[in-house]
Amino acid sequence: MTQILSQGFLPFEHEPYSNFSDETVAQKQRAAFDEVRRRYVGQTFPLFIGGQEVEGEGTFTVTNPATGEALWHFQNVTPEQRDAAVAAAKSAFESWQHSDPFQRASIFKRAAQLLRARRAEFNAVMTLENGKNWAEADGEVAESVDHFEVFARETLRWAEGKPVYPMPDEHVTMHYEPLGVVVTISPWNFPSAIPLGMGLGALAAGNTVVWKPASETPLSSWLMIELLFEAGLPRNTIQFLTGSDEVLGDALVDHKDVRMIAFTGSREIGCRIYERAAKVQPGQKWLKRVMAEMGGKDATVVCADADLDAAALGIAQAAFGYSGQKCSACSRAIVEDSVYDEVLEKVLAHARKLRAGLPEDNADYGPVIHQGSAERIRSYLDAGKQSARLLLGGDFEAGSPVVPPTIFGEVESSDPLFQEEIFGPVLTFTRARDWQHAIELANDSDYGLTGSFYSLDPAKIAEARRRFHVGNLYVNRKCTGAMSGTHAFGGYGMSGTNAKVGGPDYLFWFLQTKTTAQKY
């Protein structure tokens, strides 16, 4: 029956991006900012525990990173409420694990329709919370629509099970069952698409979720959960918790009733979660599963025979979009020596055209997420001025969260600029003797998330496909902009566990396999 139902949806198509050059579309987006301010600024939002809206112990304020404006307020959960949330998720799992996969898929389809209708609103909330301009926010909300559509289809596909080789005297099936309570811990830079992808993976498989958003961007998550409830998701299947890391960090990871942790964030925290989750707690009846995405140090290789204009544009877009605050951002340009100077000048020309301003006004770039991030980036810039050749940027006003596009040339592979994730608009240029040396340099990293390879030579491309050690390799295009359902996203090495969100095997991370043999 499920096999028939899974064929009932129309073929998947990616949600198109909004055309903000159309004044009607642009005006709708401007009006959405006014409406968001009218409806949400100054409001206090609750926790969701056991299907109920709950107040915590005091609140914290979310601010606009571009202006410092106080936006809205969220609860500080208590340790008792945290444990009650895990207990509620465990209780809800008893029924949700047996829910009809078609009904789960139908909820996701309805949620996609609801999100399409509120797209400008969600764009505006995200821009105010984390400083994305219109295009960056809209791209993420479009990805969230795609997630709903993709996971609706994947829910049904995985419910079908897999065929096995038959026995002459037995009926044998292999199917998949959910795990239990899944904790999702998400970052501020993609506050809609990343937690939604992890949360939908859990829910689609029949698990329940304890959803912890980043404290910088909780409304982007809260509205998404409300939208799921409106679409028909039972309110006890998601527990929404905000507050301090002291309450929501180690204790959630260690909790004996948590079956899995899905995490996206820093290498430091990801490794800590991986280590702590490996310890079996008293009363725990399983080995916890950890899915982690921990960033990147992504390289673009440019061969001498490449389309240099396309390569330069791709490098600039991937390096400086959203001020480089993407795990997939290009932070290393590795260029064959014979075209190094030409590519560098082309990238510099693109970067010099970028203009700072308010994200709400759709400026090319705005602030990094907060002052602490700006100061951390500044420390890399100060050190880089001593070890490499500063070509653009490198300075910004003390106390300002706006970091201009910065480019260093003649960067050695041993330099921290080359090796360490800076998470800002900082791009390094490194010379390669030849295209093979360029691949070696690209692989000289603890990380392995995304990479780009520009060449028109089929033999070189074939070699790059074999040797370029990343989870997402893009040939003759930029290394950012993965599309759910098409570019299954996840990396190697210290970039994480290679769980490929938006891909055909992602739900397996949230499932366990059961084989049943019945003798005739």
Bin 381: left if φ > 0, else alpha if -120 < ψ < 50, else beta: alpha
Q: If residue 297 lies in a helix (H) or strand (E), which one and from where to where? A: none
User: Which 3 state secondary structure label does DSSP give 346?
Assistant: helix
Torsion of CA 392, 398, 401, 402, to 10 degrees: -30
Please give the DSSP secondary-structure letter assigned to residue 13.
-
Nearest to 511 by CA among 204, 275, 292: 204
Q: Residue 91: which H helix or E strand, with range?
A: helix 79-96
DSSP string, 421-490: ---SSEEEEEEESSHHHHHHHHT-SSEESEEEEE-S-HHHHHHHHHH---SEEEESS-S----TTTS-B-
Q: Whole-angstrom Cα distance, residue 270 to residue 471?
A: 17
Task: Out of 143, 154, 293, 421, pick the active-site residue.
Answer: 293
Closest CA to 426 of 336, 254, 297, 241: 297
Distance CA 398, CA 132 (A): 22
Q: How far is CA 167 from CA 161, 201, 374, 514, in A?
A: 17, 33, 63, 17
**Rg from Cα positions in the chain:** 23
With CA atoms as reference, report the closest residue to 443 among 464, 422, 469, 466: 469
Residue type, 145: V
Q: What are the beta bridge partners of residue 157?
A: none
Angle formed at CA 185 by CA 403 and CA 300, multiple of 5 degrees: 45
Catalytic annotation present for 293: yes
CA distances from 145 to 13, 121, 509 (A): 11, 14, 22
How far apart CA 134 and CA 241 sit, in angstroms, is 28
Catalytic residues: 293
